[in-house]
Structure 1
């Protein structure tokens, strides 16, 4: 199936340099692999059940979300064991250690992804 995407020039240039450096034979193959990884992460998040232990890592623009982010962390204090925070200029990196029901952690991940000032959210269950 053919499709088209609108991608900012800078991201496309970095993407092309990355797949070439990895020795992938075409942009199409690299996009398919990236999409498959994205789908797999989502599937893992959606299908994990029971009690989980893990981490949620995300970066965000401090000024645009800090107050709302604190509200979210208080809303999910039953699932958040601890946090670690680092400053990188106007951006911050947060590592949230979680423990609890998978559904509750899943809701936390989706809530973090819903912030405009949050750039990336990654999770890992142990």
Structure 2
């Protein structure tokens, strides 16, 4: 199946450099592998059930999301045990230590991913 994507030039350049350094034979193969990894990460979060503990790490552009981000964190204060915050220029790196129902943590992660100013969200649940 063929498809087309709208990708920022800088991201495409970085992506091409990465798969070429890894020795993959084509951009198509690299995209298939990236998609498979994305699905695997989603599946791990989606199949978590019952009480879990873990971390949610994300980076965001401070000015763009800070007010709404605080609202989300207060909404999920029953599963957020603590947070850690670091500054990276215009971007901030936040770590949420979570403990509680997997469904609530999943909702939290999906809300964070929905912010335009949040660049990446990674999770690890135990």
Q: TM-score range by the shorter chain?
A: over 0.9
- Aligned pairs, how many? 126
User: Is the partner of 1:54 in helix, strand or coil?
Assistant: strand
Structure 1 outlier segments of 4+, above 3 Å: none
Give the distance between the partners of 2:8 and 2:71, measured in 1 at CA: 32
Unaligned runs of at least 5 residues, structure 1: none
Give the distance between the partners of 1:87 and 1:104, measured in 2 at CA: 27
User: Is the partner of 1:24 in helix, strand or coil?
Assistant: coil
Unaligned runs of at least 5 residues, structure 2: none
Which residue of structure 1 lines up, in the alignment, with residue 14 of structure 2?
14
Which residue of structure 1 lines up, in the alignment, with residue 44 of structure 2?
44
User: Is the partner of 2:13 in helix, strand or coil?
Assistant: helix
Which residue of structure 1 lines up, in the alignment, with residue 55 of structure 2?
55
Whether 2:114 is the aligned partner of 1:114: answer yes
How far has the Cα of 1:64 moved from its partner?
A: 1.4
Cα RMSD for the two superposed structures: 0.9
Give the distance between the partners of 2:58 and 2:122, measured in 1 at CA: 6
